[in-house]
A and B are shown apart, each in its own frame.
Chain A
Amino acid sequence: MTTVTQDLQVSDSVNQVPFLVVDRVSKVYPTKDGDGYTVLKDVNLTVNQGEFICVIGHSGCGKSTLLNMVSGFSHPTDGEVRLQGKPIVKPGPDRMVVFQGYALLPWLSVFENVYLGVNSVYPQKSKAEKTRIVKEHLAMVGLADSMEKKPPQISGGMKQRVAIARALAIRPEVLILDEPFGALDAITKEELQEELLKIWNDHRCTVLMITHDIDEALFLADRLVMMTNGPAADIGEVLDIPFRRPRDRARIMEAPEYYQLRNYALDFLYNRFAHDDTE
């Protein structure tokens, strides 16, 4: 019992104000027959500042569509997404995205890739200052020695580190990650999860992250958003993950709650909203 109380987070939600609001959002894609294909229907979600949210669900459930509406690449057919009270109309550096395929520019060096963003977001800063920011963030993800390399010369894990450094270097309010570790091997994946968590502990930006991995979500997130299947998908349930931070992977995995939460999420995904392969 003692470990449980120790690992439970003390709730301090009283001080937190609604930061990001997904308000009755529906998304309908036009189709040839004119009826339209409803991806999301009446989705509501409120995210507090500094929260780490993971979104899980079967492919085609509209997770990416939901996050694209937060980043501003896609617009709701109905409803509204608001950041600090203001509706989101277009992409911006306050909602930085770590893209699924890293999206690094292969003709620019690692340094230049990160510098591109810093230079665009802080045009008034001096060159030395911008260089310092880039170097600091590359060092943070362990790439101080690979700054002059070009993306094709580095591994997938390193590319993802560059993408994360690029995103964090411009100090976004919201960090959006679309399955960032999906293509990486298990060891690199765990390393990067721990690094991301450490950086997030220091910076405390709000994180929205799509994942397919329940263990990843349980290790990283404050809350796990579980989506029902499409078409017309919705948020089925939101799971609170109460483990205290900073988190230690081995310790939280020993907690009895870990397996309760894990089984609950598995049951949601594979029994209650099992993916229908026959469709």
Chain B
Amino acid sequence: MTLVQKRNPTTSLRKPTNSKLMERLDDIASPLIALLILLAIWQLLASIPGLTTLPTPVRVVQETWMPLIAYPFYDRGGTDKGLFWQVMSSLQRVAIGYSLAAVVGISLGILVGMNKRVSKSLDPIFQILRTVPPLAWVPIALAALQQNQPAALFVIFITAIWPILINTAVGVQQIPSDYNNVAKVLQLPKSEYFFKILFPAALPYIFTGLRISIGLAWLAIIAAEIVMSGIVGIGFFIWNAYQNSQISEIILALVYIGLVGWLLDKMMERLQTLILPSSQR
């Protein structure tokens, strides 16, 4: 009797939560299964003698376990540091270069968006410059700035700024004429117009630009660091590993880069949902 009494409410309560839980589990399980299958194929292909010199996933883990996977925080001075520090150094550069790109990009974008003449004159230049790949900026950055650190920052800046600038300008140009008419008829002071109408109206576009750019900035830093010898950073770590034929280390670094890039994008997405009111998403 007690069993029956106990079971009835629990089953009726659990049913909806159960199916939801199953759905969540499925969301995690499906990609996990796909990953396992891909790793198995890789393992199989890399095991065929004479096909490739790439290590199998099992060997990658075996070769990098000590100290890279096990001790991400080790620090033996110089560039010999754990992957956590390598990633952090790169992220620091991204933070500085990207923040600079955001500030300059949003400000210039607003100026360009507000003035038709300026927009018309500069838009073709922006459109051409934005297609220049990050690596192509590296030689000129090194030549102009002489040192690795500022050159790396410049490369991030110049890669990340275009989507922010262009999207902000479009956002300002796309402000509904109704909102501008309200500002005109009320004769709103410039600062009121900026903070109450222009900026909030352009904000969704600005966020689109910021989100595209964070991916580009991460892409740029890896590229920039690869050619800049002797610095701590995940990019140079890869190059260094290549020089020493440590292919397993390269593969491990790629996994880290992918995960960090994905996290950065998620972070921007989260920020977007936090700041933008639901009506504007």
Contact = CB atoms under 8 A, between A and B. Distances in A.
B50 interface: no
A108 B195 CA distance: 11
Contacts of A95: 185
Given A108-B196, A150-B277, A103 B182 contact: yes
A50 interface: no
B187 A105 contact: no
Contacts of B196: 105, 108, 116
Contacts of A90: 184
Contacts of A107: 200, 277, 279-280
B226 interface: no
A97 B277 contact: no
Nearest to A121: B186
Interface residues of A, number: 27
B184 A106 contact: no
A152 interface: yes
Given A105-B179, A106-B277, A107-B279, A73 B189 contact: no
- Which 5 A-B pairs rank lowest in CB-CB distance, beginning with the nearest? A103-B178, A152-B279, A91-B185, A107-B200, A91-B184
27 contacts: A71-B185, A73-B181, A73-B184, A91-B185, A92-B185, A96-B185, A97-B181, A99-B178, A99-B181, A99-B182, A103-B176, A103-B182, A105-B196, A107-B200, A107-B277, A107-B280, A108-B196, A116-B188, A117-B186, A119-B192, A120-B186, A120-B187, A120-B188, A120-B189, A151-B279, A152-B278, A170-B186
Interface of B: 176, 178-179, 181-182, 184-189, 192, 196-197, 200, 277-280
Given A71-B185, A107-B280, 17 more contacts: A72-B185, A92-B185, A93-B185, A96-B185, A103-B181, A105-B182, A106-B277, A107-B200, A107-B277, A108-B196, A116-B196, A121-B186, A150-B277, A151-B279, A152-B278, A152-B279, A170-B186
